[in-house]
Structures are given as C-alpha cells and as structure tokens.
C-alpha cells in the first residue's frame, strides 16, 4: 500500500533497461505481480530471486 513494491519494480525495470535487458513477453504480467508479492512478504530467498531473474529476463538487443 505504501508503494515499495512499485518502487522496487520500477528500479528493477530501469536497471534492466540500462543494461539492455527486459522482462520476457508474457500474455499476462501476473508472473511479475506474484514474484514481487512473494519477495515483499519475505517468502523468497536470494537464490530464488536470482533464479527468477535468470528465467524471466531477456536481452533486448535483438529488437534494435
């Protein structure tokens, strides 16, 4: 409710953009919402976060 999840997502999205990366295309962005909610509630370990980013981030260089 205080915006920390949105701020964290915005920071992650900016970091990815600056490094020519982006979240994978998906029919729904629910996968991002569920991940952020899990992290914010303390139910995700650092290793799980690393794995999630490896699985859900791609290079956007091919789109240029």
Residue 53: which pLDDT band, with cuts at 50, 70 and 90?
Answer: very high
22: left (phi over 0), alpha (psi -120 to 50) or beta: beta
The tens digit of pLDDT for each residue in 8-49 reads 999 999 999 999 999 998 877 788 989 999 999 999 999 999
Q: Which residue has the higher pLDDT, 61 or 51?
A: 51
Q: What count of Cα atoms within 13 Å lies in the side-chain half-sphere of residue 12? A: 18
Which tokens hold the place of 38?
A: 């899990």
Q: Where are the domains of the chain?
A: 4-63
Which of 17, 33, 31, 23 lies closest to 56, judged by CA? 23
């Amino acid at each position: 409710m205080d915006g920390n999840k949105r701020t964290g997502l915005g920071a992650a999205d900016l970091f990815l953009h600056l490094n020519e990366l982006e979240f994978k295309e998906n029919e729904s962005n629910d996968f991002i919402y569920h991940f952020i909610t899990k992290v914010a509630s303390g139910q995700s370990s650092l290793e799980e976060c690393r794995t999630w980013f490896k699985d859900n981030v791609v290079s956007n260089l091919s789109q240029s």
